C-alpha cells in the first residue's frame, strides 16, 4: 500500500514540522542539545513485493525525491529489485543542525528564529550561561517588544541579594526601570537570576526572599508614615490600614499628606520628611472632606488616564487646595513609550481639574499620545524621588 512505504516530500515536511517545530518541547530540547542532531527521517523505501503492488507509487516516490532541491540532505542507496533490477532509491532525509532544520522549514520558521536571536542576544550579553533559561522562555521572548528586552538587560545587573532591606517591592532602588515591570516578568527574572547566581534564588525560597522584600497588603486604605517622626507619633507603626470612615475621623500626625491611587505605588515611596502616605483608595476619595485635612499640605498622585484624572477631579472637589503630582504632560512625554490603551475610557469632562489637567484629559481622549493610559507603576523610582523632592522644595 502506498500509505505503508515511500514517504513523499510533502509527507516528510508535515512530519518534521509537527515533530520538530510545532512541538515546542522537542524544539527546545534540540536547541539545548538534549535531543541531539542530526534529525534522520526514514523515507521507507519499498520491498520488491510492494513495488509490484503499486509501481506507479514507486515511480512517483523516486521522481519526487530526485526533484528535491536540497539533495545534500538526502541519503540514497542502490537496491536490487527482482522486477526492476538495480535501482537507486532515497532512504532518508538527514538534517545535521539547527541551520539545516530552519532552512528546510522555510521562511516563516527562519523569521521566527531571527526574532529569537534578536531578542536573546542582548540578554546573552549579560552572561552566555543564560542561554538554557532563555530557550525555556522562547515563546515569551519572541513576543516581547525590543524596549522590554532592553529593560530586562538594564534590570538584571541591578538586582542584588538583600537589596530590598525588608521593604516592599515598589521600594526597590532601581534606576530607569519601574518595579511593576519586575513584577510582571517575575518568573523569567527569577529564573535568570537563579542561573546567574548558581541556584541561590530557589535555595532561599524565591525571588522575594533573595531580594529581601515584603509581601504587599491588599484592601482598605493603607497608611504609611514616610519619616521616623511621623512613625513615632503613630505608636511606631510602619504600616496599617483604615476604612475611609475611620480615616475621616482620625487625623494623621504629619504636615504633609500624600494620597496615592494604587497601594503598590504607595508602598514604594521613598522617605519624606514630615509626610504620611495614604494609598490604595482608587476611586474612593470620600474621606478627603475630613476637617483635619484643611490645615495640611496635601498632594495626589494617580494613573494618567481618563479614570485617574476623574479620580483627581473628585479628590479636588473634596479638597480644592490639593496638588497633583506626576499627572501632567511632562510625565507623559517622559514615559510615552510605556503607555497602553485603556479598556474603556471615561469621556465625560471632569469638573475640578486645572486648565493644564483638563488639556491632558482631552489629549488622552483624542488619542494624541502613543496610548491612553500611563500607569503610575510604570514610573522609575529615581524619577518619582526627583518629583517628590521638587514638591517638598516648593512648599518651603
pLDDT at 1: 41
pLDDT at 360: 97
Does the pLDDT at position 386 exceed 70?
yes
pLDDT at 100: 95
pLDDT at 48: 85
pLDDT at 218: 59
Q: What is d(CA 308, CA 27) in angstroms, rounded to the nearest whole number?
A: 45
Q: What is d(CA 122, CA 218) in angstroms, rounded to the nearest whole number?
A: 36
| 219: confidence class by pLDDT, cuts 50, 70, 90 | low
pLDDT at 217: 58
The four Cα atoms 10, 14, 15, 20 give a dihedral, to 10 degrees, of: 130
Does the pLDDT at position 2 exceed 50?
no
pLDDT at 354: 96
Question: Which of 254, 263, 332, 333 is closest to 298 using CA atoms?
Answer: 254
| 205: confidence class by pLDDT, cuts 50, 70, 90 | confident
Question: Which of 115, 135, 126 is closest to 27 using CA atoms?
Answer: 135
CA-to-CA separations, 224 to 22, 215, 234, 326, 384, in angstroms, rounded: 51, 15, 10, 20, 17
Q: What is d(CA 341, CA 339) in angstroms, rounded to the nearest whole number?
A: 7
Question: Which of 67, 16, 18, 7 is closest to 42 using CA atoms?
Answer: 7
pLDDT at 276: 98
Give percent of the chain above pLDDT 90: 84
pLDDT at 3: 54
Average pLDDT for 367-390: 96
pLDDT at 213: 92
Name 274's Cβ contacts closer than 8 Å, sequence gap at least 6.
227, 229, 230, 254, 255, 256
List the grid coordinates of 241. 490600614
Q: What is d(CA 332, CA 367) in angstroms, rounded to the nearest whole number?
A: 13
List, for residues 180-203, the tens digit of each pLDDT value: 999 999 999 999 999 999 999 998
Chain mean position to CA 187: 10
List, for residues 240-284, the tens digit of each pLDDT value: 999 998 999 999 999 999 999 999 999 999 999 999 999 999 999
List, for residues 116-159, the tens digit of each pLDDT value: 999 999 999 999 999 999 999 998 998 899 999 999 999 999 99
Q: What is d(CA 292, CA 369) in angstroms, rounded to the nearest whole number?
A: 39
List, for residues 308-347, the tens digit of each pLDDT value: 999 999 999 999 999 999 999 999 999 999 999 998 888 8
Instruction: Name the 3-class secondary structure at 235.
Output: coil
80: left (phi over 0), alpha (psi -120 to 50) or beta: beta
Strands of the sheet containing 275-279, edge to edge, are: 240-242, 221-225, 275-279, 256-260, 297-301, 323-324
Average pLDDT for 353-362: 96
CATH number for the domain running over 221-394: 3.40.1360
List the grid coordinates of 217. 497588603
Asked if 20 and 27 count as a contact pair (C-beta separation under 8 A), the reply is yes
Q: What is d(CA 22, CA 109) in angstroms, rounded to the nearest whole number?
A: 10
Average pLDDT, the chain: 93
Average pLDDT for 65-84: 92
List the grid coordinates of 128. 552566555
List the grid coordinates of 232. 513615632
Asked if 378 and 262 count as a contact pair (C-beta separation under 8 A), the reply is no
Residue ranges of the chain that CATH labels 3.40.1360: 221-394
Average pLDDT for 36-44: 95
Amino acid at each position: 500500500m502506498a500509505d505503508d512505504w515511500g514517504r513523499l516530500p510533502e509527507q516528510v515536511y508535515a512530519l518534521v514540522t509537527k515533530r520538530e517545530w510545532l512541538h515546542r518541547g522537542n524544539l527546545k530540547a534540540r536547541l539545548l542539545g538534549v535531543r541531539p542532531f542530526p534529525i534522520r527521517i526514514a523515507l521507507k523505501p519499498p520491498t520488491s513485493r510492494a513495488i509490484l503492488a503499486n509501481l506507479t507509487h514507486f515511480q512517483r516516490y523516486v521522481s519526487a525525491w530526485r526533484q528535491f532541491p536540497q539533495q545534500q540532505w538526502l541519503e540514497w542507496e542502490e537496491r536490487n529489485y527482482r522486477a526492476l533490477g538495480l535501482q537507486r532509491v532515497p532512504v532518508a532525509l538527514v538534517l545535521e543542525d539547527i541551520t539545516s532544520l530552519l532552512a528546510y522549514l522555510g521562511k516563516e520558521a527562519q523569521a521566527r528564529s531571527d526574532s529569537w536571536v534578536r531578542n536573546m542576544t542582548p540578554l546573552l550579553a549579560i552572561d552566555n550561561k543564560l542561554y538554557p533559561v532563555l530557550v525555556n522562555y522562547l515563546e515569551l521572548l519572541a513576543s516581547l517588544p525590543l524596549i522590554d528586552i532592553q529593560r530586562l538587560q538594564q534590570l538584571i545587573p541591578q538586582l542584588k541579594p538583600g537589596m530590598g532591606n525588608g521593604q516592599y517591592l515598589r521600594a526597590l532602588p532601581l534606576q530607569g526601570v519601574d518595579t511593576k515591570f519586575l513584577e510582571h516578568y517575575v518568573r523569567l527574572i527569577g529564573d535568570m537570576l537563579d542561573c546567574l547566581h548558581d541556584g541561590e534564588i530557589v535555595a532561599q525560597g524565591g525571588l522575594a526572599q533573595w531580594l529581601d522584600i515584603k509581601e504587599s497588603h491588599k484592601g482598605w486604605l493603607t497608611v504609611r508614615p514616610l519619616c521616623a517622626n511621623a512613625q513615632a507619633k503613630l505608636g511606631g507603626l510602619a504600616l496599617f490600614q483604615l476604612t475611609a470612615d475611620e480615616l475621616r475621623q482620625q487625623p494623621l500626625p504629619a504636615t504633609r499628606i500624600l494620597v496615592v491611587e494604587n497601594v503598590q505605588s504607595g508602598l514604594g515611596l521613598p522617605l519624606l520628611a514630615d509626610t504620611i502616605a495614604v494609598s490604595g483608595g482608587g476611586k474612593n476619595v470620600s474621606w478627603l472632606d475630613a476637617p483635619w485635612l484643611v490645615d495640611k499640605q496635601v498632594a495626589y498622585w494617580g494613573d494618567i488616564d481618563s479614570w485617574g484624572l476623574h479620580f483627581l477631579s473628585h479628590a479636588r472637589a473634596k479638597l480644592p487646595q490639593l496638588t497633583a503630582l506626576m499627572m501632567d504632560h511632562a510625565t507623559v512625554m517622559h514615559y510615552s513609550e510605556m503607555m497602553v490603551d485603556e479598556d474603556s475610557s471615561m469621556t465625560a469632562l471632569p469638573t475640578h481639574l486645572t486648565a493644564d489637567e483638563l488639556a491632558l484629559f482631552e489629549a488622552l481622549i483624542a488619542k494624541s499620545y502613543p496610548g491612553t493610559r500611563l500607569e503610575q507603576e510604570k514610573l522609575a523610582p529615581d524619577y518619582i524621588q526627583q518629583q517628590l523632592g521638587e514638591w517638598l522644595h516648593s512648599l518651603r
